[in-house]
């Protein structure tokens, strides 16, 4: 890349970073006389028009012209002159006489054009001579939009397709169904859009904390919406022209309150507003799901149909006579295997109709369906497990890919569901663990950013959460790690990407005003308990193990959220109760620990903290008891619970107690003893 870095990339223009760039000599001047021609196999003009649609330079499409100079030539070829297995690869050659883009597919030509436009726009049409040979690292580079919690118009969806495609993303996953609203016209079941698409509060949080009721479409209070089949066809055609595949998600067996209110006979109790899970023992459930999926398959051409599969409570299945009978008839030992029965049966239906099943990593529970692909969101373990069992996986772990979390200091941002995911952390994600063999790596299809919209009520807010973090994931999915540079990427975002977005009417976060992480997390802390043994009289929560047993004395303070692997979780009915051994009797003057509170995801302060000291490990003296009223709020809050004074101790016991009215989780980062 050497010469190209000096002459072109230094101007911070090409995003995502191409695989290989070599500078030539001279400049191509794109002007009013420049013609765009194509040769070789049949090229789809509508895709080429879409690629050039936002070009600020003259676009003279002349497919049959024979010009030999001042020409941009598009060529569909049988193979490219560099090693690649991707049908999205391209070769872009710029000389002072002409520009040639070669690819084996229209998608490859589209991406070559998008690279050319970035080079040309940066120099007002003076394109430096260069040779770009480029191919994506992963075949799947996606974004998920949750249009259930807050419905977004077809125009909004098309607008995001434009920007995604400009940065070489190729999958749009639409979360079309959830408790908050059903968003797709299904002719066979009109109540899904007459009732289940509408609710009595426009803002999800108000609805969730209020009635959680649905409305008839004609009700004056009704808020929501859905896509007609004509809307979807319009979105799909727009996506096709931009080389993006739209993947529909129809949730099952859980997150289905809206369905089970419109059609309560599909739940275990047959009562509206009572159930979130389909009744797997009821044959009518499968009749409904298959009828819905038939219409989805007829509408969407995507090979994958996403069926959700996450967070099923399964509570009623344990007592439902139909579910229990199904388990007996099928020889299923528990409700996890009952969920697997549903997933496998739906997969057989999809496969019989020429489609493949995609689901969140909970579909692994009870055994994975034979041909299913796993979308790993609860960390990376689900994806690793699926791959090591020979299945494909797509990585979308919350720690790196949940774009609905705070992207800067929470106090400076609109309310979010929680999390802290700054741009640099997104950019630094590598979906392929170092432990993978080449065969395992080949089963990892790619990466996806998810935007759940519980706390994102407006279109402008959704774009603010998406960008520029989605662009970071675009580079994670496209570019080879050896070519990536955080400093270069940030510069490109500031100097080119954000100004372009704003000029086109998008509403991105301004990275130049970023505050950054919590100050306590920036430097390790020295204190008397550093590296000392901690005995856990009540166990920590293995779902959030941070640095394991060493977390509370490893010298690392936590950042703005518990997803940074520095906050140790404790399920509050198993309170924090630990003893730190200072190894020798020591004079101490303070003991303290920080707790966080984020009420949305059920993270709470304790209502009581007790700190005790002992010289022999058997007889403890209470240093302080701290009581406080735990109040619900909408903030991300931090509070230190500690003692100051003077005493001699070898052992320090630290206990926290949950508010019995709240439940939830305690998170602690470090017990600091001075």
Is the same domain home to 111 and 62?
yes
Same domain, 103 and 159: no
Contact status, residue 217 vs residue 197, Cβ threshold 8 Å: yes
Same domain, residue pair 267 and 412: yes
Give me the domain span that covers residue 544.
519-673
Sorting pLDDT into bands at 50, 70 and 90, what band is 5?
Answer: very low
Q: Which of 87, 102, 134 is the last residue of a domain?
A: 134
Taking 90 as the threshold, does the pLDDT of residue 213 lie above it? yes
pLDDT of residue 429: 97
**What mean pLDDT comes out for the span 464-485?**
97
pLDDT single digits (tens) 288-298: 999 999 999 99
Determine, yes or no, domain membership for 623. yes
User: What is the rounded CA–CA span in Å between residue 508 and residue 506?
Assistant: 6
In a domain, 93, yes or no: yes
Is the domain of 371 the same as that of 389?
A: yes
Model confidence at 410: pLDDT above 50:
yes
pLDDT of 500 higher than 80: yes
Q: Which of 394, 399, 512 is closest to 446 using CA atoms?
A: 394
* pLDDT exceeds 50 at position 9: no
pLDDT of residue 664: 87
**Same domain flag for 443 and 570:** no
Residue 488 lies in a domain: no
- Considering 150, 173, 175, 255, which one is annotated as catalytic? 255
One domain, residues 112 and 218: no
CA-only gyration radius of the chain, Å: 28
Residues 591, 460: one domain? no
- Omega of the bond prior to 468 within 30 degrees of 0, cis? yes
pTM across the whole model: 0.94
Tell me what pLDDT residue 12 has: 57
What mean pLDDT is predicted for residues 559-573?
A: 91
CA pair distance 418, 421, nearest whole angstrom = 10
Q: At residue 215, does pLDDT exceed 50? A: yes
| Domain presence at residue 183 | yes
311 as an active site residue: the answer is yes
Give the model's confidence band at 663: pLDDT under 50 very low, under 70 low, under 90 confident, else very high.
confident
Average pLDDT over residues 195-204: 97
* 192 and 227 Cβ atoms separated by less than 8 Å: no
Instruction: For residue 7, give the CATH number of its domain.
Output: 3.30.379.10
Phi, psi dihedrals of residue 208, rounded to the nearest 5°: -65, -40
pLDDT at 566 over 60: yes
Are 465 and 384 contained in the same domain? yes
Q: What is the CATH number for 170?
A: 3.20.20.80
Find residue 325's DSSP bridge partners.
Answer: none
What's the pLDDT tens digit per position in 75-125?
A: 999 999 999 999 999 999 999 999 999 999 999 999 999 999 999 987 789
Does residue 11 have a pLDDT over 70? no
Looking at residue 506, its pLDDT comes to 98
Q: Is the pLDDT of residue 1 over 60?
A: no
485 in any annotated domain: no
Residues 100 and 157 in one domain: no
Domain count of the fold of the chain:
3
In a domain, 361, yes or no: yes
Out of 473, 503, 529, a domain closes at: 473
Give me the catalytic one of 223, 311, 334, 495. 311
Report if residue 244 sits inside a domain: yes
C-alpha to C-alpha distance for 525 and 280, rounded to whole angstroms: 53
Confirm whether 387 is domain-assigned.
yes
In the predicted structure, residue 66 carries a pLDDT above the cut 90: no
Tens-place pLDDT, residues 231-243: 999 999 999 999 9
Question: What pLDDT is attached to residue 330?
Answer: 97
CB-based contacts of 160, cutoff 8 Å, min separation 6: 143, 145, 172, 463, 466
> Is 619 a residue of the active site?
no
Active-site residue identified among 88, 106, 178, 365: 178
| CA–CA dist 614, 622 (Å, integer) | 9
> Do 436 and 346 share a domain, yes or no?
yes
Residue 4 — pLDDT band, cuts 50, 70, 90? very low
457-468 pLDDT per residue, tens: 999 999 999 999
Q: Tell whether the model's pLDDT for residue 67 goes beyond 90.
A: no
Q: 535 pairs with which residues across the strands?
A: 579
Q: How far apart are CA 543 and CA 227, in angstroms?
A: 37
pLDDT in tens, 95-104: 999 999 999 9
Which of 95, 113, 134 is the last residue in one of the domains? 134
Q: Are residues 348 and 205 in the same domain?
A: yes
CA dist 183 and 299 (Å) reads: 14
Q: Is the pLDDT of residue 3 over 70?
A: no
pLDDT band at 365 (very low <50, low <70, confident <90, very high): confident
- Classify residue 325 as exposed, middle or buried by CB count within 10 Å of its CB (0-12, 13-18, 19+): exposed
Give catalytic status of residue 121 as yes or no: no
Q: What is the DSSP letter of 495?
A: I
Contact 476/426 with Cβ under 8 angstroms? yes
Do residue 280 and residue 381 come from a single domain? yes
CATH code for the domain of 664? 2.60.120.260
Average pLDDT over residues 164-173: 98
Average pLDDT value over all residues in the chain = 94
Tens digit of pLDDT for each residue in 310-344?
Answer: 989 999 999 999 999 999 999 999 999 999 999 99
């Amino acid at each position: 890349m050497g010469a190209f870095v000096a002459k072109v990339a230094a101007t911070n223009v090409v995003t995502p970073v191409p695989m290989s760039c070599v500078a030539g000599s001279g400049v191509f001047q794109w002007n009013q006389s420049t013609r765009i021609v194509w040769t070789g196999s049949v090229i789809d003009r509508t895709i080429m028009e879409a690629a050039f649609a936002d070009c600020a330079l003259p676009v003279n499409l002349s497919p049959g012209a024979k010009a030999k100079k001042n020409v941009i030539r598009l060529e569909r070829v049988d193979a490219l002159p560099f090693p690649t297995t991707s049908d999205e690869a391209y070769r872009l050659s710029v000389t002072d006489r002409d520009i040639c883009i070669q690819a084996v597919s229209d998608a490859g030509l589209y991406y070559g054009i998008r690279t050319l436009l970035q080079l040309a726009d940066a120099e007002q049409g003076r394109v430096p001579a260069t040779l770009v040979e480029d191919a994506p690292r992963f075949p799947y580079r996606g974004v998920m939009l949750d249009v259930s919690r807050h419905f977004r118009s077809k125009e909004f969806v098309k607008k995001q397709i434009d920007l995604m495609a400009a940065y070489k993303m190729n999958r749009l996953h639409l979360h079309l169904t959830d408790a908050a609203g059903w968003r797709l016209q299904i002719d066979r079941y009109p109540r899904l859009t007459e009732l289940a698409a509408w609710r009595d509060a426009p803002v999800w949080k108000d609805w969730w904390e209020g009635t959680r009721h649905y409305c008839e479409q004609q009700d004056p209070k009704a808020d929501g919406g859905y896509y007609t089949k004509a809307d979807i066809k319009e979105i799909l055609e727009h996506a096709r022209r931009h080389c993006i595949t739209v993947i529909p998600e129809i949730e099952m067996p859980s997150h289905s309150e809206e369905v089970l209110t419109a059609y309560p006979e599909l739940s275990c109790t047959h009562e509206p507003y009572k159930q979130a899970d389909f009744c797997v023992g009821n044959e009518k459930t499968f009749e409904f799901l298959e009828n819905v999926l038939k219409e989805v398959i007829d509408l969407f051409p995507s090979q994958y149909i996403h069926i959700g599969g996450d967070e099923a409570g399964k509570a009623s299945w344990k007592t439902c006579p139909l579910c229990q009978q199904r388990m007996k008839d099928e020889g299923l030992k528990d409700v996890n295997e009952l969920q697997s029965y549903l997933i496998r049966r739906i997969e057989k239906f999809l496969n019989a109709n020429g489609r493949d099943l995609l689901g969140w990593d909970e579909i692994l529970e009870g055994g994975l369906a034979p041909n299913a692909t796993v979308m790993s969101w609860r960390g990376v373990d689900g994806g690793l497990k699926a791959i090591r069992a020979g299945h494909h996986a797509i990585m979308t772990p919350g720690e790196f890919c949940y774009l609905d979390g705070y992207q800067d200091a929470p106090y400076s941002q609109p309310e979010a569901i929680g999390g802290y995911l700054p741009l640099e952390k997104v950019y630094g994600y590598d979906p392929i663990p170092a432990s993978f063999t080449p065969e395992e790596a080949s089963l990892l299809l790619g990466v996806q950013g998810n935007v759940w919209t519980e706390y994102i009520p407006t279109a402008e807010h959704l774009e603010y959460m998406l960008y520029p973090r989605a662009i970071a994931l675009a580079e994670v999915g496209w570019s080879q790690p050896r070519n990536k540079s955080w400093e270069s990427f940030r510069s490109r975002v500031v100097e080119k990407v954000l100004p372009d977005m704003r000029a086109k009417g998008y509403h991105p976060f301004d990275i130049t005003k970023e505050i950054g992480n919590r100050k306590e997390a920036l430097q390790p802390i020295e204190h008397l308990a550093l590296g000392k043994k901690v005995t856990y009289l009540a166990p920590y929560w293995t779902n959030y193990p941070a640095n394991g047993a060493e977390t509370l004395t490893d010298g690392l303070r936590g950042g703005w959220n518990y997803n940074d692997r520095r906050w140790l979780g404790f399920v509050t009915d198993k309170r924090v109760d630990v003893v730190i051994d200072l190894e020798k009797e020591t004079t101490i003057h303070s003991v303290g620990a920080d707790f966080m509170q984020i009420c949305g995801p059920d993270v709470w302060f304790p209502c009581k903290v007790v700190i005790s000291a002992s010289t022999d490990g058997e007889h403890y003296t209470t240093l302080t008891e701290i009581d406080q009223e735990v109040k619900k709020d909408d903030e991300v809050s931090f509070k230190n619970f500690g003692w100051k004074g003077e005493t001699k101790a070898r052992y320090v016991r630290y206990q926290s107690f949950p508010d019995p009215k709240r439940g939830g989780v305690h998170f602690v980062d470090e017990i600091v003893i001075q």
